[in-house]
Amino acid sequence: MDNESKKILVVDDEQDSIDFVTAVIEDLGGYQVMSAVNGEEAVELTRREMPALVIMDVNMPKKDGYTAFTELQEDPRTSAIPVIMLSSLTDFGEYVTMNPDVKRPRLFLDKPIAPERLAEMIGTVVTA
């Protein structure tokens, strides 16, 4: 499957963050980028569109990124879709402390995001 047929879902409640991540993906070339502004939309879009990758912020309204990640991991239809979680180290540490039994994402990037690191991670995950 070539990149043009691969969808990547970007989820963040801040439009600037969506725009930044989208620009990094567009620089890679050929991916179809979709976006959502909260975890609720992310779960719905992922189940409907079956993207090759979800890049999701942690702190969002309606449903946070970890709750959405957990729902996607528990659904047999979406459990194999890789998820890159984005957030500050403080957010991640607080969440893990408050929710010790929750599944943790394998892929995590701290904000502010280094565009080279994000591009590298996308290339490794989506083309693998």
> Residue 9 in contact with residue 35, Cβ under 8 Å?
yes
**Rounded to 5°, angle at Cα 16 from 13 and 19:** 100
- Tens of pLDDT along the chain (128 residues)? 455 569 999 999 999 999 999 999 999 988 999 999 999 999 999 999 999 999 999 888 899 898 999 999 999 999 999 999 998 756 666 666 776 676 677 788 888 899 999 999 999 998 64
> Residue 61 in contact with residue 13, Cβ under 8 Å?
yes
Residue ranges of domains in the chain, CATH in brackets: 3-126 (3.40.50.2300)
